[in-house]
Structure 1
Amino acid sequence: MICTADSKTKRIGLIDIGSNTIRLVVFEFSKRHGLKELQNIKTPARLYRYLNEDKEMSDEGISVLIDTLKSFGKVSDKFDVEELYPVATAAVRQSTNLDEIKSRVFEETGVSLTIVSESEEAFYGFYAVINTIEIEDGVTVDIGGGSTEVTYFEDKELKYSHSFPFGVVTLKEIFFKDKPHNDKEAINKTIEYVKEQFSSLRWLEKRYVPIIAIGGSARNIARIHQSKNEYPIAGVHGYEMDIDDLDDVFNTLVDTDESDLEDIDGLSKDRTDIIVQSNIVFKALYDEVGAKMFKFSRKGLREGVVMRILEKDFEMPFDRYKVFKNSLLELASDYNIDLDNANQRIMIAETMYYELRKQGYFEHSKSQKKFIRHAAFLYYLGAYIDADSSSQHTYYILSNSNINGINHKDRVKLALLASFKNKSLLKFYMDEIPWFSNDEQDRIQAFGGLLKFCHALDISNTSIVKGLYISNVDDDTIDLTIEYQGDAIAEMYQADRQKKHIEKITKKNLNLIFTKI
């Protein structure tokens, strides 16, 4: 049984004051719908440029910060933000005139700056990752403009963290000043420096775990790779690369003339001069960790801060051990899925799967059973948009949404199952995304057909079916007894129409025996 929670909401504005960019994100949270972004805007303030040799921020830099805060404050007011939190990281944190900055900001805007310490910055990124990605053990990395945070976690518990005093902007200033982005000497010196920094952490070497990358630089690397490979679905959250993929993006960047970098699909205009440095850091960390994969998280510092704030007002707003389950519940709320009907579909689908498995048509697999269960729960959620094209909407929504706790291939598989209508439409979807072997395609078609038939057994949405079982099997016929209460006229008609999907699986005629109890 899948159940939902209360609908109390809270709206929070968070201003992330980084060394490279200042960004406002307006969040709304409820336990029914989860954490949603209502607005996300940024400006490439490059505050680090306003620090002199003594790390003192100039009046001009402070004015840039204040003007941005005033502008973002007006946007927050438009969204009726209940609480506004401006949080500052490396550029402000490292300023020797920090007290002056905080004082002027408060005097001119009425807002109190929160300075995030190095350890807090690392923790918040880690916290967002473990609550949105289902990886038990891993390393997180968040490259900012003036610092780089790395953590190591086991069983979703933080073990070690460290903040390095370099970011993409500082690496550019140190090694690439007045040099092109692909200067070989600058690249080699940067690689040597970054490797030396990472090797100073004894707990980082050869962990052989996935790396989860956070932040704008990471998102740009992922988007470049997706564009190069004509990636067929949207979103970078949960996207996976390996060292060869990182090398491929790196080579693309260094082989491109500086004047042409803006033409690279996926690369933001304000990151063209710092993207090579971020790629160098990722490649060096991959080698140091002996990573199994490089995975991207769209959730980072900002989400981590907001999650901790929400824990003061909500009881267990997030559960790191039930990431995907909670994502399903949020989808159900977003698309108005009736939970009683969804649980009825799950019961029918699991029972039918079990009955067919006992007859040898499916092998025993917890993974397969989970997919059937989840797809039954979300089946035809696209009907919320348009009932006549519910399959198409279901497939598009699920395959292109950033769903926490599931990788991209499994997300598409879930979309194919939950949207199954017929073989030809399934083939149309799968032709767009050639990720599945012939065996996998056959299995998806079989499970999709099973779900289509089971959907017919609750077509009236009245939960009249109380049980079903295979009561007899002979050479060319299977008898399926369906126990029900109430009026089953709609289910009888639809089940008879859709039984062909079960007959394709069994290669036998399906005889439906409706029995009132």
Structure 2
Amino acid sequence: MMKRIGLVDIGSNTVRLVLFEYDEETGLKELQNIKTPARLAWYLDEDKVMAEEGIDNLISILKSFQLISEKYSVKEIHPVATAAIRQSVNVDDILERVKSEVGMEIKVITGREEAFYGYHAVVHTISNMDGLIIDIGGGSTELTYFENKELIHSVSLPFGVVTLKSMFFDDKKHNDEEALEETEKYVKKQLKSIKWLSKRKVPILAIGGSARNIARIHQSSTNYPIAGVHGYSMDRNDLQDVYDLLENTKEDNLDDIDGLSKDRSDIILPSTIVFKSLYDISRAQEFKFSRQGIREGLAMSMITRDYPAAFNKYHIFRDSLKELASDFQIDFEEGKKRQEITERLYHELERYDFISISRHEKYLMKNAAYIFYLGSFIDRDATSQHTYYLISNSNINGIVHRDRVKLALLASFKNKTLLKFFADESGWFNSEEMSILMKLGSILKFANALNISNTSIVEDLYLDDEEDDMTLTIKYKGDPIAEEYQAARQKKHIEKIMDGHLEIKFIEA
């Protein structure tokens, strides 16, 4: 069964349409993602009345989004509004006009609901068991603290990037020294008023457009070798580097900063101040980004009503890998058979002390076996290359970027030369790690050879030490002609691990 829904996130700074499709096999997919700057918070006067110009702008945007949704056959559209409309004293008039002129019923969510949906998305897509979530919008900032993936505290603060700009930077440059100092003083006072926040000593998980921009700026400045900000991690010094870059760049040159969105160039410094202040007050361990936020949290909540088992916050990586495999038409039974042969082969080599690795490395090897040579879906003549680039640049939930690259190196393993070529692009792995990756890749290459016909002929296998030569006996059921040929070709990979000759025997089970 398949379900399509549209989410319209009406924020204080931007309005965004995201069209989702959920399928039990492929999971939750984004069909389209479109945003437009609206700056609705700017249309609020001193009495918190939304000006007609702001309402007209919103209605025009929603009509455009409605037409886009129709093109994708999405009839179920859920518009949700946050701080700018929530704070408007004429909120009822806004909702009535939208319903009358567009036919959409806007749901105005509270600050706590906003925090909950952001939390819901993060804990289902990031592996951290404990954390502090921050979502800076245009007119409010939501903070959520969770332990063991359960929500413990949440609060909505009455400031966002647009309101901070209007409070402290009105008619001033983006890097005005006095404005920056006053902003930091105000933000820290607000954060220190939250009694449960200080000295939490957990990772900060940041969501929202400002957070994504900061991650992209840092990635660009460090020539980060892979794509995507989801799961990207920075420390306090990294945050300071981005802040210094923004502060020392003249206003006319901000557009030259790679990763900085043009419609956020005038509001990015205030958000960086908030992130730095939160890092210091909570004594954070790291600063990590999630590209999943309120929209995804809402979508997940809605889909769960029809599909209660759709999302599991304790099996994020497993489910994400399953969805990736489905996208590239990895057959479930073939993948499981490769895993079975890989584990059996590893245990035999370990039994004779040819190899010993950590539980985590074994876990990566096992999952790489499932998606081994995934890139053959695109081109069999360049399977290894496509496999590496697809996996290393795919958004895989529940895994850190370094492990994502390891997974890609293992699943794409062809030979030592190509492994080194791919690994050198990141420069992340030392000689010891490369040696382990080489051995695990060799196991995977040989395990793949033992099911090259995809007929699951291997029933069992075991190693024996016979007169100083190792013999691998493979019990089969069916016709092993393809596997015999490939095993003979690829046994060199196992011989390198053993540093000796390997005899292979196929016997009928």
- TM-score of the pair, normalised by structure 2: 0.99
Asked whether the 8 Å contact 1:237–1:296 carries over to 2, the reply is yes
1:48-63 mapped onto 2 (5 Å cutoff): 48-63=41-56
Note if contact 2:121-2:294 (Cα within 8 Å) is conserved in structure 1: yes
CA distance in 2, matches of 1:118, 1:59: 25
Would you say 1:139 and 2:132 are equivalent positions?
A: yes
1:362-401 equivalent positions in 2, closer than 5 A:
362-363=355-356, 365-401=358-394
1:501 aligns with 2:493: yes
Q: What does residue range 277-316 of structure 1 map to in structure 2 within 5 Å? A: 277-316=270-309
Question: Could you say which residue in structure 2 is the equivalent of 1:326?
Answer: 319
The 5-angstrom pairing of residues 96-495 of structure 1 reads: 96-363=89-356, 365-472=358-465, 474-475=467-468, 477-495=469-487
Q: Who is 1:44 aligned against? A: 37
CA shift in 2, pair 1:160/1:508, >3 Å:
same
String of CA shifts for 1:374-430, please: whole Å, max 9, x gaps: 000000011111111111111011000111000100000000000001111111101
Corresponding residue for residue 5 of structure 1: none
1:472·1:480 contact (CA, 8 Å) conserved in 2?
no
Residue type of the partner of 1:488?
A: P
Aligned AA for 2:4? R
Contact 1:10 1:82 in 2 (8 A): no
> Which of 69, 90, 93 is matched with 2:86 structurally?
93
Percent identity of paired positions between Structure 1 and Structure 2: 58
Amino acid at match of 2:500: K
Q: Which segment is superposed worse, 363-372 or 48-57? A: 363-372
What is the SS of the residue equivalent to 2:306?
A: coil
Residue 315 of structure 1 deviates from its aligned partner by 2.4
Structure 1 equivalent of residue 504 of structure 2: 512
8 Å Cα contact 1:240-1:295 kept in structure 2: yes
Counterpart amino acid of residue 493 in structure 1: Y
The whole-number CA distance in structure 2 between the counterparts of 1:82 and 1:101 is 22
Q: Distance in 1 between matches of 2:133 and 2:115?
A: 8
**Is 1:78 aligned with 2:74?**
no
Partner of 2:28: 35
Paired residues of 1:464 and 1:488 also in contact (CA < 8 A): yes
Structure 2: 5+ residue stretches without partners:
none
Q: CA deviation at 1:82?
A: 3.1
2:62 match: 69
Runs of 4+ off more than 6 Å = none
Structure 1: where are the runs of 5+ without partners?
1-7
- State the one-letter code of the partner of 2:386: H
Give the Cα separation in 2 of the matches to 1:464 and 1:252. 59
Amino acid in the other structure paired with 2:406? K
- Cα separation, 2, equivalents of 1:412 and 1:78: 37
Distance between the aligned counterparts of 1:252 and 1:430, measured in 2? 30
How far apart in 2 are the matches of 1:458 and 1:103? 63
Tell me by how many angstroms 1:34 deviates.
Answer: 1.2
User: Is the CA contact (8 Å cut-off) linking 2:199 and 2:281 kept in structure 1?
Assistant: yes
Moved more, 113-122 or 353-362: 353-362
* Cα distance in 2 for residues equivalent to 1:342 and 1:420: 16
Q: Which amino acid aligns with 2:501?
A: N
2:14 equivalent in structure 1:
21
Report how many aligned residue pairs link the two structures.
Answer: 509
Paired residue secondary structure (2:30): strand
SS at match of 1:311: helix
Give per-residue Cα distances to partners, 1:357-381, cap 9 Å, x unaligned.
Answer: 1111222522122111100000001
Question: Which one is further off, 385-394 or 364-373?
Answer: 364-373
SS of residue paired to 1:499: helix
- SS of the aligned residue for 1:312 comes to helix
Residues 355, 497 of structure 2: 8 Å contact kept: no
* Counterpart Cα distance in 1 of 2:437 and 2:222: 25
| Deviation per residue, 1:72-112 (Å, 9 max, x gap) | 11111111003101110000000000111111111111111
In the aligned structure 1, how far is the partner of 2:361 from the partner of 2:263? Answer: 44
Q: Tell me the secondary structure at the aligned position of residue 85 of structure 1.
A: strand
Deviations 1:327-357 (A, max 9, x none): 1110111111111111110010001111111
Counterparts in 2 of 1:453 and 1:55: CA distance versus 1, 3 Å: same
C-alpha displacement at 1:31, in angstroms?
1.8
> In 2, distance between residues paired with 1:148 and 1:337?
42
Contact 1:209 1:291 in 2 (8 A): yes
SS at 1:500 equivalent: helix
Supply the AA of the counterpart residue of 1:74: L
In structure 2, how many angstroms separate the alpha carbons of the residues matched to 1:201 and 1:457? 59
The whole-number CA distance in structure 2 between the counterparts of 1:63 and 1:45 is 11
The CA distance in 2 between the partners of 1:193 and 1:437, in whole Å, is: 45
Question: In the alignment, is the contact (CA less than 8 A) between 1:214 and 1:297 conserved in 2?
Answer: yes
Contact 2:392 2:405 in 1 (8 A): yes
Alpha carbons 1:19, 1:46 under 8 Å: kept = yes
In the alignment, residue 512 of structure 1 is paired with which amino acid? I
Q: Report the CA distance shift for 1:456/1:59 in structure 2 as closer, same or farther (over 3 A).
A: same
Cα distance in 2 between the residues matched to 1:119 and 1:370: 38
RMSD of equivalent CA atoms: 0.8
